């Protein structure tokens, strides 16, 4: 069996997009990829992100919002920034990894009714899932079953 890959998702607040990516990859690629997430300025888990992930059967309610420094010195195969700010601020202390930038809209910045805001969270969640599935299926190749 192939060695498990490790990925670190980065966002400024580590509250929404990086948490959703972390949960999706740990769910969809369980046993093949171990995902973690961190922020350059973490400020807690976003309750709406938890809600829209729960809607697709993924529980991220126990995740913590960690600062990037928590992962310094740990090996990762991929470091993926999901917002421009984190992409610019990510130090290059992660050696020997594939650094990627995959930007997504920031749902907490959206205004409107609860339903309008949740629709953006759901859209971004689904976009993250689609992009991560496309990317990692190509990177990993066929599953070793």
Query: Are 16 and 53 contacting, i.e. CB atoms less than 8 angstroms apart?
Result: no
Of 8, 11, 38, 132, which is the active-site residue?
A: 11
pLDDT digits (tens, 9 = 90+) for 15-32: 999 999 999 999 999 999
> Of residues 7 and 100, which shows the higher confidence score?
7
Q: In the predicted model, what is the mean pLDDT of the chain?
A: 89
Residue 90 annotated as catalytic: yes
- The answer to whether residue 10 is domain-embedded is yes
**Rounded mean pLDDT, 126-133:** 98
pLDDT of residue 145: 41
Q: What is the CATH number of the domain that holds 36?
A: 3.40.50.2300
pLDDT of residue 83: 80
pLDDT of residue 97: 75
- Can you tell me the distance from the alpha carbon of 145 to that of 2, in angstroms, rounded to the nearest whole number? 10
Of 45, 83, 86, 132, which is the active-site residue?
A: 83
pLDDT of residue 94: 54
- The answer to whether residue 145 is domain-embedded is no
pLDDT of residue 86: 61
- The answer to whether residue 131 is domain-embedded is yes
Of 24, 38, 58, 90, which is the active-site residue?
A: 90
Q: Which tokens is 135 given? A: 């990317």
pLDDT of residue 120: 97
Name the residue range of residue 104's domain: 5-137
**Rounded mean pLDDT, 135-143:** 86
Count: domains in the chain: 1
pLDDT digits (tens, 9 = 90+) for 30-67: 999 999 999 988 989 999 999 999 999 999 999 999 99
């Amino acid at each position: 069996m192939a060695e498990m890959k490790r990925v670190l998702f980065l966002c400024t607040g580590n509250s929404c997009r990086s948490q959703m990516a972390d949960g999706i990859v740990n769910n969809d690629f369980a046993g093949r990829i171990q995902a973690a997430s961190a922020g350059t300025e973490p400020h807690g888990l976003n309750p709406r992100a938890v809600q829209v992930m729960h809607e697709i059967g993924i529980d991220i309610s126990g995740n913590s919002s960690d600062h990037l420094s928590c992962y310094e010195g740990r090996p990762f195969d991929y470091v993926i920034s999901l917002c421009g700010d984190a992409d610019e601020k990510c130090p290059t202390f992660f050696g020997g990894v594939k650094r990627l930038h995959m930007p997504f809209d920031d749902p907490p910045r959206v205004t409107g009714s609860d339903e309008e805001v949740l629709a953006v969270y759901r859209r971004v969640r689904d976009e993250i899932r689609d992009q991560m599935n496309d990317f990692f299926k190509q990177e990993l190749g066929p599953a070793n079953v």
